[in-house]
A and B are shown apart, each in its own frame.
Chain A
Amino acid sequence: MAANESASLSGTRNLGGLLRGLRNKEQGVKYNNLLGYAFIAPAMLLYLVFNIWPIIRGFLMAFTDYRFVYPDTRWDFNGVDNFVKLASDEKVHKSIWIALKYTAMVLPITILAALIIAVLISRVRSGASFYRWVVYLPSILPVAVSFLMFREMYGLKFGLISNILRGLGVENPPNWLGDVAYALPSIAVAHLWIIFGFPTLLFLIGIYNIGSEMYEAASLDGANGFQQLRWITIPLLKPTFALILVLQIGIIGVTDPMLLLTAGGPENSTLTVGLDIYQIAFVKGDLRLGYAAAISLVIGVFSALISAGVFRWSRD
C-alpha cells in the first residue's frame, strides 16, 4: 500500500514526487512501448480529438472572423479586431455586468450556506449519511428539470411560492420571472438550490480531515463552539474555500437557466454574457463563431486570473 501511495497522484506533494521520479528513472527498466501505447490509444484518441483540439481551435478561433454560414471564413484571421470591437460593444459590456451581478448573488451565498450546512452535518452523531444524500440530491437532477421545476414554483397563479405568500397575507405576489426587478434574483435562488450540494460535501471532507484532537485541545482550553469554528475550522478550510471558488468560477459564463427560463428577458434583464455569446454563435445572423469565441476567451482569461489569485491566496 505504501509503495502504491507514493506512486499515486494524491495531492501536490505526490505530484512533485512523481515529477522527481520522472527525472531519475531507474536504469534497466524493461520498456513495453507498443503495448502501453495500444492500451492508452482509445482514450488518448477520444481525449485529443474532442477535448484538446477544441481548446486549441477555440483559442485560434477568437482571432478569426469565422462566420458559420460562410465556411470559407473558417481561417480568416483578423488579428485583434474582435477584441477591438468588443472594447466598444456596449451590449456585451452590459451582459458582462449582468453576469457579474448574477455571480455576486449566487457564489457568496452558496459558499456560506455550504459551510454552515457542512458544519451542522459534522456535528450530528447519527444520520450524517442521510443528510449528505439529501444535500447532493439537487445536483444530480437534470439542470433542465430543476430550472423548469422552479418555473412551476414561481408560477403566478398556482405556483407554490406565490401561494405561500398569499397565505401569509401578501395580496399581489410579484411575477417572479416576468418582472425586471425579480427575474435575475429568482433564477439565482434556483441556481443556489441546484449547486450548493457539492461545495457542502467538499467542506465536509475538509472538516473531517481536521480531526478531533484539535477541537479537544481547544475545548480543554475553554473555547466554545463558535470560537472553535472561527479559529480552527474556518482557517483550516482555506484550501477548500479556494477549491470551491475555482470549481464554481465558471458561473460567470452562466447560460443554461437563461436558455431554459427567460431567453434573456424581461427587457434583457437576464441577458448574461453566456447567453449573449450563445446567441451570437448559434442563433443570430450569420453565426459569428469567431466573435463569440473572442468574448468567451476574455471571460475565460478573466476567470483564470481570479482562480490563480484565489489559489495564491490559499497558499499564504
Chain B
Amino acid sequence: MATTQMLEAPAQTPQTQVRATQRNSWLSRSNWLAHSALALVTFIVLLPILWMLATAFKDGQEFYTNSASLFPRNPSLVNFQYMFSAIQELPIYMRNSFILAIGVSVVQVFSAALAGYAFARINFRGRDLIFIAIIVSMFIPRSGGLMALYELMSFLKLRNSLFGLILLFASSLPVPIFIMRQAFLAVPKEIEESAFIDGASWFQVFARISVPLVASAMVVIATLAFVGVWSDYLVTYTMVDRDTQLTISVGIQKVLTSSYESATAIVPQLRGQFAHEAADAAMLLFSAAPVILIYALLQRWFMRGLTDGAIKF
C-alpha cells in the first residue's frame, strides 16, 4: 500500500536516470527557476506570520515608529507581560481548548479503533453495507446542519458544555474509521490467528496484538483531530456563549475587540509602553502556538493523514 509514500516523488529507475541526463540542461534550468519561484511563494506565505512574530516583540515606541520592519531593533517582552498579567480569560480559554482538543482526540481514537477493527476483522451481518453507508453519507451536504445541531445541543442540554462539544466534534468519524480499517487490514492475519490458537480472547487479541501494530494510524487520527478542533470557529461560536466555556480560537476575537482601557487598568505600570496592535499580534501567536508546534513536530503523520483521508476515496 503506497499511502505513506503518496506525497513522495516517485523514485527514478536507472533507465529514467539515463534518459534524464539527456535533458539535464533543461532540467537544471527549470530546477533553478522553480526554486526561485517557490522562494517567492514561501515568502508570501510566511510574510504575515513573520510580521506577527516581529510585531509581538516590539514595544510601543518601536511599533509606532517602525511598524513595517520584520526585525525588531530592541526586542521587548512587554506585549507578553501585558498579555499574561492583564488578560485574565486567556488561561481559561487555553485550558478549554486543550480539554476539547485532547478530549476529541481520545474519543475519536478509541471509537474509530474499535469500529475500524470490526470493519476489518470481525464478520457480522451487514458489515460491508454499514461501512459503505458511512462513507457515502459523508458526501451528503449538511444543509441546515448547524441549525439542527443547535436544536439538538439545546435539547440535550449540551450547549455551553465542553463535554457536549467533545461529543459533537468527535462524531465526525468516517475518515478516522476509514484510516483505522485500512491500518487493521494491513496487519498480517497470521499474527492474530496464532494468538487465537494460544487461547486469547477477541478483546485480548485486539488490545494486545492488533492495536500496538496500528499505533501510527492512531497518532495520525489524534493529530488531525487535535488540529482541526483547535482551529474551529463557527461551530464553537454557535454552541458556546458562556465565557467560561469558550475556546481560545473563539475567545481570541473577544479579547482583541474588548476594551484595552479596562485591561490596562489592571496593569497601570504598562500603560503607554506597548501598542494595542502589537499586543494583538502576541496574543494571536500565542493562541496558534500549540497547532504550529504540533504541525512542526508531527509533520510526517500529518501529511499521511491528509493523503489517507482525502485521496483514497
**Interfacial residues, chain A to chain B (CB-CB below 8 A):** 1, 4-5, 7-11, 15, 18-19, 21-22, 29-33, 35-37, 39-40, 42-44, 46-47, 49-59, 61-62, 66, 68, 74, 117, 120-125, 127-129, 131-138, 140-145, 148-150, 152-153, 155, 158, 160, 163-164, 167, 193, 198, 201-202, 204-205, 208, 211-213, 216, 219-220, 224-225, 243, 247, 255-256, 259-260, 278, 281-282, 289, 292-294, 296-297, 299-301, 303-304
Q: Could you tell me if A160 and B249 are in contact, using CB atoms closer than 8 angstroms?
A: no
Chain B residues positioned under 8 Å from A281 (CB to CB)? 146-147, 150
Q: Does B122 touch A at the CB level, under 8 Å?
A: yes
Nearest CB in chain B: distance from A278 CB, A = 8
6 residue pairs, one from A and one from B, having the closest CB atoms:
A36-B124, A58-B144, A300-B143, A293-B144, A50-B171, A39-B118
CB closest chain-A residue, reference B285: A145
Q: Interface with A: B35-43, B83-91, B258-266, which one? A: B35-43
Given contacts A33-B125, A61-B144, contact A260 B307 (CB under 8 A): no
Nearest CB in chain A: distance from B224 CB, A = 10
Given contacts A121-B38, A259-B237, contact A152 B144 (CB under 8 A): no
Q: Does B197 touch A at the CB level, under 8 Å?
A: no
Segment 185-232 of B: residues with Cβ below 8 Å from A: 185-186, 202, 227, 230-232
Encode B98-136 as 1/0 by CB contact (under 8 A) with A: 000000000100111011011100111101111110110
Q: Could you tell me if B68 and A160 are in contact, using CB atoms closer than 8 angstroms?
A: yes
What are 20 A-B pairs with beta-carbon distances under 8 A?
Answer: A32-B124, A36-B122, A36-B125, A36-B127, A49-B167, A50-B168, A58-B145, A61-B147, A68-B151, A131-B41, A132-B7, A140-B291, A140-B295, A144-B253, A149-B49, A152-B52, A153-B48, A208-B8, A296-B146, A301-B141
Main secondary structure of the interface of B (DSSP, over half): helix
Segment 235-289 of B: residues with Cβ below 8 Å from A: 237-238, 248-250, 252-253, 256, 275, 277, 280-281, 284, 287-288
From A5, A21, A205, A259, contact of B128 by CB (8 A): A21
Q: Does B51 touch A at the CB level, under 8 Å?
A: yes
Q: Could you tell me if B233 and A8 are in contact, using CB atoms closer than 8 angstroms?
A: no
